[in-house]
Structure 1
Amino acid sequence: MDRSKPARLRRLLVASAVAVLGALILIPGAASAAGTGAITGYGGKCVDVSGAGTANGTKIQLWTCNGTGAQNWTVGSDGTIRALGKCLDVSAGSTADGAKVQLWDCNGTGAQQWVANAARDIVNPQANKCLDATGVSSADGTALQIWTCGGGANQKWTVPGGGTGGGGGSGFVVSEAQFNQMFPSRNSFYTYAGLTDAMKKYPAFATTGSDTVKRQEAAAFLANVSHETGGLVYINEINTANYPHYCDTSQPYGCPAGQAAYYGRGPIQLSWNFNYKAAGDALGVDLLNNPNLVATNSSISWQTGLWYWMTGTGGAGTTSHNAMVNSQGFGVTIRAINSIECNGANPAQVQSRVNNYNQFVGILGVPAGGNLYC
């Protein structure tokens, strides 16, 4: 990965949250049921349509379970969750913490896409946030909203029939055996358990879309990571002469860990003080003062890789996650991660990434798709 300051600054400045999943436009009424019944959650209460109303904008709330149609939800294999002929919807397609959840005409937008995962989160991939009982309350009438996933009891749900709402309810689409096959010479630091633990921070990763799309996204992420680390061999940047160059003294917080402390580490070779600050803020870890956590804690290290995959846009104008779930192609992920390789600037590096991707989709048994190059 190129670590020149202009490229890294550009990546940071244009990084954004997961954007609208435009490729997930669905045909209203076309859902097939993965399960139908009550969705239970905090305090043993049920997800309920207020007053059994069917008007657009009707409040979704917690209520004592009563077996009525207002609590009878169909978790569709198309990613929708429906009751009373309408869809569970995030108001105005918002991605903000506290955005209310309501009933609305099914329209196939990202505001109506949900993934119920093995951790019992119900995630809106468009916002990368969890269905949440407001105020950590279980009182009848408590409004439901979306909120940053934190693992609290007010974000844990049991869906009918064990349905997954289009997600990977059985776990990561890459088995540990397949992971080991992909990385036969990997450093023991890069554990499979560390990766799957890190995925709890970004529950929409490799759980969005069809089974093929999930596997393609996992393969694309791991292919780029393999390129960055020499097959998950290297933890720290090899060229130690570069180490003092990654301190941007114009940042108000400076380089408290030392001028030479912000060299490349981990699966995406995170570098520069401002990237350590941004990643740490997003992950709830003080990486600015403790950058070596990326080289000593496997889960945190993997989290930095997923942080950039899910939020960084680089020169692509979209995240790598969105590029894969929107079927824009593997080449767009290269442009998001290191655009200076593209447009013929470094074809050997691009080819290395593509070769990894082709190998990994082969292991996972899915086609590579189009637009492999940038």
Structure 2
Amino acid sequence: MHTTFGLNDPVAELGTNRVESWFFRANCPTTPRAIWIKATFLTSISGRNLAQAWVSVFDGDTAAAAWRTIDYGDATVISAGGNQQITIGDTVFAVTGEGGMLRGHLNRDGQDVRWDIAFDRVEDGLAEPFVLIGTAAKVRRSRFPANKVVSPFPVVHCSGTVTIGSEVWVVDGWSGMQGHNWGPAHSRQYVWGQAVFSERSGQQPVAYVEAASARVAIGNRMSPYFSVMTVRHGAEIYRFDRLFDLHRQHVDVAFPSWRLRMRGAAATAMLSMTAHREQFVILPYQNPAAPTRYCLNSKLARVELRIEPHTGNDFVLRSEHGGALEFLVDDPRSLLPTATIPFD
């Protein structure tokens, strides 16, 4: 039996500045369709405490999002014995050690989305929980980095239904992931990506990649991008987590594309992710004690990952429309000037 090392346990505390999210995505293996669901809690020293439920759906070159914000006290988080159940209005996000269930209904600007999805951990090494920076056993105690990114379920099998208006998607044989993150605020600027790679026949997952590039404010200036990446291919794990060794990483962020080259102890990795502009939703991410940031979020990115091991043969993994790709920015109007920006 796998253990999540308590990676889904809540950490938010009233009276502290904290953003905490549990999130889930699922992608159809044969067509460009995906769903992304998120539960967020914001606590602050000032006493302004909120709970937010989010859903985004992606269908070809169409993307739509809905969300709801309620008072923290009107939401519930039940956590016991490694199991969690989060309820925010009509949204329920439940996880155990081996899977989970998501059920909910959100409507925004006439976009009505309902979902009833179950997910189960895959039965191989890809199922092992991991932490993007640090180790699973120590992540909750470590002070660095301030923002934690963990994947209790890096690869899952999904089943259920998604209903958009009167259209019903049958979620059968979809793959996905479930993650959890927390910190004092959303990072100032970041790019985050994740992809599950499958065999052409049978769509059996064989590998995944998760990576991020982030910048922080240093006085009145922004730092260079610091990047991290983890790749699991069968039984092999390649970690690229020397954040401050900028000689071993090269980052090219040019929305809607992101390219990352990293050299690690065992291999060199080259990751390329891109999506069409129409395949992004724009989500306002509030902070406890900082301005709102905006997440340009797609779950239909095209992904190519090349690994050159220091010993052994090179290999390339591709996904035509299975990548999760997010850009967090101060103001999205410079990137999507004609889009409707939810500045409210």
TM-score by length of 2: 0.26
Q: Whose RCO is larger (CA < 8 A, sep 6+)?
A: 1
Question: Which protein has the bigger strand share?
Answer: 2
- Which structure has the greater CA radius of gyration? 1
Question: Higher helix share goes to which structure?
Answer: 1
